[in-house]
Amino acid sequence: MPGTGAAVQGVFRAANERLRNVVDSVVRRGPLVVMCECSDDECLEVLELDRDAYRTVRAGGHFLVVSGHCNPELEHIVEHRDGFDIVEKENPPE
């Protein structure tokens, strides 16, 4: 049974930030592998993107989700990329 979407997305975003810090300290080349930040608490899918794209998404305060994982009740797609979407929360937490 799905949990609260915003809470799930926040958990996966925090995990991706920690993972990025560890990976950056070990390997600084190649694509990043990050977990889908969708609102489905059972989703364990991953996606790959280049480091510049990751930084751009984070700077904009957006979330990364596998294509097709956007929950239109919670967010809207800002941009489609190859294999993933960049989404923005409809009512971001303060």
Please give the pLDDT value at position 78. 95
* SS3 call for 86: strand
pLDDT at 94 over 70: no
Please give the pLDDT value at position 28. 63
- Over residues 17-73, the pLDDT tens digits come to 888 777 766 666 678 889 999 999 899 999 998 888 888 999 999 999 999 999 999
Distance separating alpha carbons of residues 38 and 42, to the nearest angstrom: 10
Question: How do the domains of the chain map onto residue ranges?
Answer: 5-89
Question: Would you say how long the chain is, in residues?
Answer: 94
DSSP class per residue in 7-58: HHHHHHHHHHHHHHHHHHHH--SS-EEEE---S-TT---EEEE-HHHHHHHH
The verdict on pTM exceeding 0.75 is no
Please give the pLDDT value at position 1. 41
Please give the pLDDT value at position 13. 85
Please give the pLDDT value at position 92. 58
Distance separating alpha carbons of residues 87 and 78, to the nearest angstrom: 5
- The residue ranking higher by pLDDT, 80 or 9, is 80
